Amino acid sequence: IFSGVLFRSRGCALPISDYLGYFALFGANTDMVRLERIYMKKKKHVISRVLPGSIGEELELEPGDILAEINHQLVEDVFDYRYLMNDEYIELLIEKANGELWELEVEKDYDEDLGIEFENGLMDDYRSCSNHCMFCFIDQMPPGMRETLYFKDDDSRLSFLQGNYVTLTNMSQEDIERVIKYHLSPINVSFQAMNPQLRCKMLHNRFAGDALKKVDQLYEAGITMNGQIVLCKGVNDGEELEYSLQKMSEYAPVLQSVSVVPVGLTKFRKGLYPLEPFTKEDAKAVLEQIHRWQKIMYERYGIHFIHASDEWYILAGEELPEEDRYDGYLQLENGVGMLRLLGTEVRQAVAERDGDDRKLSVTVATGRLAAPYIAGCMDVIREKYPNITSEVIAIKNNFFGEKITVSGLITGQDLIEQLSGRKLGDRLLIPCNMLRSGEDVFLDDITITELSEKLGKEIIVVDPGGADLVSAVLDPVEHKKQIRRQMYEQTSSCNSGKA
């Protein structure tokens, strides 16, 4: 029973204390050395949930159990877990809550998961950002908010799990080698500038220019990448943007897309690098530059490669690009094509319905950026439901400043202030990106319940996508799952928000 191959069904699972006692009494062998190494060094990967009908349930795994090893290898983090799970035969070492060790053999499909979740999604500590970017949104937050909102992450693992953009400055050579070894992709990179000296200045990190060499390693290994440039007026625009686009184009098509987003500026910038907002003329110049490069890249590779976020088109007063120009919407999280896709999905969802003469009054509260496009979506719904009336209220961001126009940064107090005393109709809709992931809390800690009580109106939270907007307007009210990703808590310091 001390062979190290333990099967619960054979009655051979023993508490770890018994194993270590045996080790001390009888001396070392390979299995005992391994067990001691695990329990002296290992991280506690505690299972928080076992999905019904999963392999984990069949193995009788339970919340509180600890995953120690896969195939006799320590699991450092979620990278290791996902890589080691990609096999048709695996061996697991599980520590039960009572101290027993179970070594389990599993035969499964190559990419089939165990159906378990962990208390820590990364299976490791979050890595904080070592940069002090001149455009960092977190530095522009007022004091007195919850502590997690001030955490700056630059964690490459969140790039793969949540789509965050990372600067590469916090990635070691070992991290790069693991990405290449596991062939993890795509990785989302915050470039900002391809001029090494300028990148050091923008990130306020003397190693930021050298970090670009890691892009060469990822490119040579064929690791698919997406890029981002947070454009700052008078800093990395104009000639510097031209240079960056030329250098980044050399990584195509492994670097499959690059988004250009305008820096988000709140009113809390005292003591920070002086940045100015872009004007209408600035936006037109940026779009001309991007469109010229789109033509070049489409001729070379059949992809448009470089994309402007929706804000540029709105600021310039120009029409959004046609759907084909978005290359499959690779950069939705950066607000690239989000409004175009919303309109397309609304038209598709309405086309699938018969329409009727029901009477209903609907109010939608959203950010100033998206408001005109939401109003257009409501017009599409009225083509088949002519007796539905609607009002789209563009919420002014008094909390962060009126230069912030995205709905994801609207607070509960601004909603209360600007919606109180108004006729809100039969339904009040808000987008789910106003809320924390999986919760009913706004950035200022006001809850949906508190907002509903203040306004005397039930709130309908609309999930992403045009189909859910149509459903929220037309279908019976029901509890809706809120699925907003944590964009401003444990996220890239370079993320400027979404519409």
C-beta separation of 428 from 480 below 8 A: no
Closest CA to 455 of 491, 489, 427: 427
**CA angle 47-48-51, nearest 5°?**
95
C-beta separation of 54 from 116 below 8 A: yes
Token pair for 233: 């007026």
Query: Looking at residue 210, what is its pLDDT?
Result: 94
Distance CA 102, CA 105 (A): 10
Closest CA to 165 of 237, 255, 83, 241: 255
Closest CA to 354 of 379, 385, 390, 376: 385
Closest CA to 59 of 106, 15, 12: 106
* pLDDT tens digits, one per residue of 3-45: 233 333 323 333 333 333 333 333 334 444 444 444 434 567 8
Query: Looking at residue 312, what is its pLDDT?
Result: 96
Q: Which of 38-42, 69-73, 470-474 has the lowest mean pLDDT?
A: 38-42
Contacts of 136 (CB under 8 A, 6+ apart): 152, 493, 494
By three-state DSSP, how is residue 370 classified? coil
Q: How many CB atoms lie within 10 A of CB 390?
A: 20
Query: Looking at residue 146, what is its pLDDT?
Result: 67
Q: If you average pLDDT over residues 410-423, what whole number do you get? A: 95
Hey, which residues does 103 pair with through a beta bridge?
Answer: 93
C-beta separation of 50 from 116 below 8 A: yes
- CA distance to 350, 409, 461, per residue, from 385 (Å): 10, 32, 21
Closest CA to 48 of 74, 27, 29, 67: 67
User: ω into residue 63 within 30 of 0, thus cis?
Assistant: no
Token pair for 485: 């990703």
Q: Which value, in Å, is the radius of gyration of the alpha carbons in the chain?
A: 26
**CA angle 432-433-434, nearest 5°?**
90
Number of Cα atoms under 13 Å in the Cβ half of residue 284: 6
- CA distance to 76, 222, 378, per residue, from 70 (Å): 11, 27, 52
Query: Looking at residue 148, what is its pLDDT?
Result: 60
Number of Cα atoms under 13 Å in the Cβ half of residue 123: 23
Percent of the chain beyond pLDDT 70? 80
Query: Looking at residue 156, what is its pLDDT?
Result: 43
Distance CA 305, CA 302 (A): 9
Token pair for 140: 């522009």
Question: What is the bridge-based pairing of β-strands 66-70 and 45-50?
Answer: antiparallel
Phi/psi for 343 (5° steps) reads -60, -40
User: ω into residue 143 within 30 of 0, thus cis?
Assistant: no
Considering only residues 484 and 388, tell me which one the structure prediction assigns the higher pLDDT: 388
Closest CA to 157 of 130, 192, 182, 131: 182
Residue-averaged pLDDT of the chain? 82
Residue for token digits 């402007």?
Answer: 308
* pLDDT tens digits, one per residue of 137-177: 878 888 777 666 655 555 444 444 444 788 888 888 988 89
Q: Decide if pLDDT at 238 tops 90.
A: yes
Confidence band, pLDDT 50/70/90 cuts, at residue 127: low
- Residues listed for the chain: 499
Considering only residues 84 and 206, tell me which one the structure prediction assigns the higher pLDDT: 206
DSSP secondary structure letters along 273-309: -------HHHHHHHHHHHHHHHHHHHHHHSS--EEE-
- CA distance to 143, 148, 483, per residue, from 162 (Å): 27, 17, 12
Distance CA 328, CA 315 (A): 24
C-beta separation of 207 from 182 below 8 A: no
Query: Looking at residue 70, what is its pLDDT?
Result: 83
Q: What's this model's pTM, rounded to 2 decimal places?
A: 0.74
Distance CA 478, CA 497 (A): 28
